[in-house]
Amino acid sequence: MNKFFAFPLLGLFISCLSPDDISMSTDSDIELLDQTLKSVAEMQTGYQLNKLVKLDETEEILVLEFDTTLIKKDLKTLLEVSFSRLIKPMNYSKVEKKDSVIFERKAKEKKGPISVVLTLDNGKINFCGVNFQNENYLYQENQAIQLTLVQGKLDSYKIVGSRKLIGLDLSSYMIEAKLIK
């Protein structure tokens, strides 16, 4: 009699779990990426930010004091994403090369970055490249973000992207920033 009630209750419990709770565990390289991104905008005293910004044909060069708020705003797309929740073995293929790891989104998957490239050195990430692509009825958007890290600290970043709204011309932008002591 107890088995008669246990199996339906077990089935009900399993069906209430979200897909994220049911899916396989996260890759250790992706967990390392999430940990690295949490610390990427930490304050680094004594540094300046040398920044080049291009919007379509307009270009501006800035030399600013190191500001975590500015870096968080520039890297908002990366810092707000939990890669451990998005990149699962069932959604992404993983290719390991000498010192790098490449995650590519499978064709059937529509959520998350198109690709993530990590270059590792002694168990730390020293380069990260993430490509996003979004498309719907109103716009097409592409964005590529590259981070260069030295000993786990942000050294430079580059963001290149474009957006095409219906009825408007293509708009492109680029942000290059280098931390200088």
How far is 145 from 114, CA to CA, in rounded Å?
12
pLDDT for residue 39 = 86
Give the lowest-confidence range in 39-43, 102-106, 151-155.
39-43
pLDDT over threshold 70, residue 57 = yes
pLDDT over threshold 90, residue 12 = no
DSSP output for 61-125: EEEEE--HHHHHHHTHHHHT--HHHH--TTTEEEEE-SSEEEEEE-TT--SS-SEEEEEEETTEE
pLDDT over threshold 60, residue 25 = no
What mean pLDDT is reported for the chain?
86
Size of the chain, expressed as the number of residues it contains: 181
pLDDT for residue 159 = 97
pLDDT for residue 5 = 55
Q: What is the DSSP letter of 43?
A: -
Residues 6+ apart with CB under 8 A from 132: 77, 113, 114, 141, 142, 143, 144, 145
- Percent above pLDDT 70 for the chain: 86
Q: What is the pTM of this model?
A: 0.82
